[in-house]
C-alpha cells in the first residue's frame, strides 16, 4: 500500500484495515477496523481530516478529500462505490454512496441513506436518514424510505474480499 505522511500529518490505519497496494492514503486519515480501500482510490487528508468508520469499503477509483473547514467523516458499515467523490462531507452509518456520485463540502448524509449512481449532492445539502437522493443536483426521492440493512450484503462481501486479497494477491510482473 502507498501511505504517506505529510509533514506531521500521518495516517492512522487499524491493523485489520486493508489498503490495496494501488490505493493512496495521505496525511490525516483514520481508517477503522475492517475498512477496505481498493485500487486507484485516493484518500488525501492534507488540509483537514478524513475518518472512515469500521467495516466501510472505499471502492476503486474513489477520491475522498477534506478542507480545513470541512472534515470528511464516513460512518461505519458504508459502501462508497466505484469512482465516487466525497469532499468535506459527513456520511452517517450504513450508507450507500453509489458509483460515480459526488458529495460536496458541508453536505450531510443521514444514516442508512442512499446517494444514487451519478448523483451530485451540492454544498451544504442534507439527505435525511434512510432516504434516497437522486439526480444532478441530487434531490431526495419523495415517498420512499430505504430499508434497513440495504448495504449489509455488500459490506460483508467487501470484508471477505479484503481478507482474501490480504492473503492471495501477488504481483506477476
pLDDT of 78-121, one tens digit each? 999 999 999 999 999 999 999 999 999 999 999 999 999 999 99
Q: Does domain 2-168 have CATH number 2.160.10.10?
A: yes
Phi, then psi, of 5 in degrees rounded to 5: -85, 150
**Phi/psi class of residue 88: alpha, beta or left (left: φ > 0; alpha: ψ in -120 to 50)?**
left
Q: pTM score, two decimals? A: 0.97
What local confidence, expressed as pLDDT, does residue 144 receive? Answer: 87
What local confidence, expressed as pLDDT, does residue 102 receive? Answer: 98
Q: Dmax over Cα atoms in the chain, in whole Å? A: 52
Local confidence band at 150 (pLDDT 50, 70, 90 cut-offs): very high
Task: Give dist(CA 158, CA 36) in Å, integer.
Answer: 7
Local confidence band at 127 (pLDDT 50, 70, 90 cut-offs): very high
Find cell 449532492 and name the residue.
121
CA atoms within 13 A on the CB side of 117: 3
Structural domain boundaries in the chain: 2-168
3-state secondary structure of 3: strand
Beta 12-13 vs 120-121: how paired, if at all?
Answer: unpaired
C-alpha closest to that of 74 among 155, 87, 5, 24: 87
Question: Would the CA dihedral through 132, 135, 139, 144 be positive or negative?
Answer: negative
Phi, then psi, of 15 in degrees rounded to 5: -60, -25
pLDDT of 4-16, one tens digit each? 999 999 999 999 9
Amino acid at each position: 500500500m502507498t501511505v504517506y505522511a505529510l509533514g506531521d500529518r500521518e495516517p492512522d490505519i487499524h491493523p485489520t484495515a486493508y489498503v490495496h497496494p494501488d490505493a493512496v492514503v495521505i496525511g490525516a486519515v483514520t481508517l477503522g477496523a475492517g475498512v477496505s480501500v481498493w485500487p486507484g482510490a485516493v484518500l488525501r487528508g492534507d488540509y483537514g481530516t478524513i475518518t472512515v468508520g469500521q467495516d466501510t469499503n472505499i471502492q476503486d477509483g474513489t477520491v475522498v478529500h477534506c478542507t480545513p473547514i470541512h472534515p470528511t467523516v464516513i460512518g461505519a458499515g458504508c459502501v462508497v462505490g466505484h469512482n465516487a467523490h466525497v469532499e468535506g462531507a459527513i456520511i452517517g452509518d450504513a450508507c450507500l454512496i453509489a458509483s460515480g456520485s459526488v458529495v460536496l463540502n458541508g453536505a450531510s448524509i443521514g444514516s442508512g441513506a442512499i446517494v444514487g449512481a451519478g448523483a451530485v449532492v451540492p454544498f451544504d445539502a442534507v439527505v435525511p436518514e434512510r432516504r434516497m437522493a437522486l439526480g444532478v443536483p441530487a434531490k431526495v426521492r419523495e415517498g420512499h424510505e430505504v430499508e434497513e440493512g440495504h448495504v449489509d450484503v455488500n459490506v460483508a462481501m467487501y470484508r471477505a474480499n479484503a481478507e482474501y486479497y490480504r492473503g492471495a494477491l501477488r504481483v506477476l510482473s
